[in-house]
Structure 1
Amino acid sequence: MEIEVQNLTFSYGKQPVLQDVSFSVQKGTLTAVLGANGAGKSTLFRCLLGFLTPQAGEIRLSGRPLSAYSRRETAEKIAYIPQSSEPIFNYTVIDTVLMGTTGTMNVLQRPGRRQQEAAMQALQRLGIEALAQRGIGTISGGERQLALIARALVQNAEILIMDEPTANLDFGNQQRVLAQIRALTARGYTVLLSTHNPEHALHYAHRVLALQGGHIAADGPTETALTPQLLQTLYGIQAILAEVPTDRGTVRSLIVTEDME
């Protein structure tokens, strides 16, 4: 499913947050949304999810205006994955994932065999089926984030919007979660995720969408859009892109070149 955003403008009162934002996202791609705090990333996501109504512009899903979708229809097309946090209730992992099926059932209906099978398949797809009966509060942050992604998958939505999915995760879990997210695009999912780490975009994203002051600072394939000049613009730091030889070939890495003291 494709996303088209045309001349999107949104303000909180008299405070403009997004100004004439236009871009498109193709099916089966991972787009990393970059920008400093307050750049408009979260507001953009809320507009894409239908939580906020822009003052101008239009969002289209596969050619159809988002405004033409009902709330239920939007939930069938787009799933939201928040940052992992400490849960209030220690539901089992499988029950947490089953919460994603509620949009396909009547209000008083309980998950049945079909929903149970779909939930297990989502856990298997992400390699955490062994955690099904564990409490969501007893597993690691990385495992919890994968469980939240599994919950989104059982919605059968084709678009996944992720708000800093690796925030508060250690280095190893960041890489595991991002690798699983990238793998989902090969299955046809369209993913937009925000991150404060440009390295995540460099190593996993097909495209970069960068926001600054509510405007688009860059939009394009990662290898051409993510530049030292962009990092200077977004974050006010000087960096270089280095070619690093490995036993699996050459990879690119960002190196900050200025004294940060």
Structure 2
Amino acid sequence: MVQSASAIDLYMLVFGGALALALLVAGVVGFLFLYQKRVSEQELVVREMQLGLQQQVVYRTLDAVEDERKRVARDLHDEIGAALSAMRLLVTQLAQHTPPTPEAANLTTRFKDVIDNTIDSIRRISNDLLPQGLEELGLTYALEGLCEAAMALSDVDIELRVDTEPALSNRRGLLVYRLVQELLNNALKHAAASEIKLSLHHEAQQVRLHYADNGQGFDFEQAYQRRSFGLKNIETRAQMLEGTVAFDTQPAQGLRVTLSIPLTA
């Protein structure tokens, strides 16, 4: 009887020890699991903060670039453009006080042509830096000017359709303008497109931009993995607009881009 009680006590002791050990192991495992989960959550927060800081740096850099473009464009227009106009006037007055010889008339005409060409170049550069009429007349007017300039410089047919003037701030309108400018530059320089279609219209609480060309197209995955500068510019500007952008392209099948911009951002 004594031996039986001792055996039971031994079994209870072994069972209790095993149970305590199992609970201890479970506690350690649970602690490690929770600790690892907490560490992962903290790492995720840190990565999100780092990404947010990187985005802020990119956004501030782009804003600084646009501010500098505005300053340079206005200096070109107000100072250089005015100086060239005054120079042309002086050349005209000089011709009136110079003996009317064929050589003098020829030189005067050549001087005027050079000055006029320089003024046109200043206007074109100034318009590239600061879209003409964007702040005063709106995004539609600026996009029309951009398309006309592209067609004047290359053999491409651009069709632009806008149902109503988008309700976007000047800053957001400038971002859309730069995005379209990037698309057109890529189409003319790399895609060899001859036809481009652009449309801008409202859908519920958003503005949607559609772009399509008949250019060479490309492998999107390969271009994205190579960190194509043009694609990243478009993507970054879409993020600054708090919108989404989708690309649809294949080699020899052109490029289609859809940009959705929320009006409530």
Q: By the TM > 0.5 criterion, same fold?
A: no
Larger Rg: 2
Higher strand proportion: 1
TM-score, normalised on structure 2? 0.23
TM-score, normalised on structure 1? 0.24
Higher helix proportion: 2
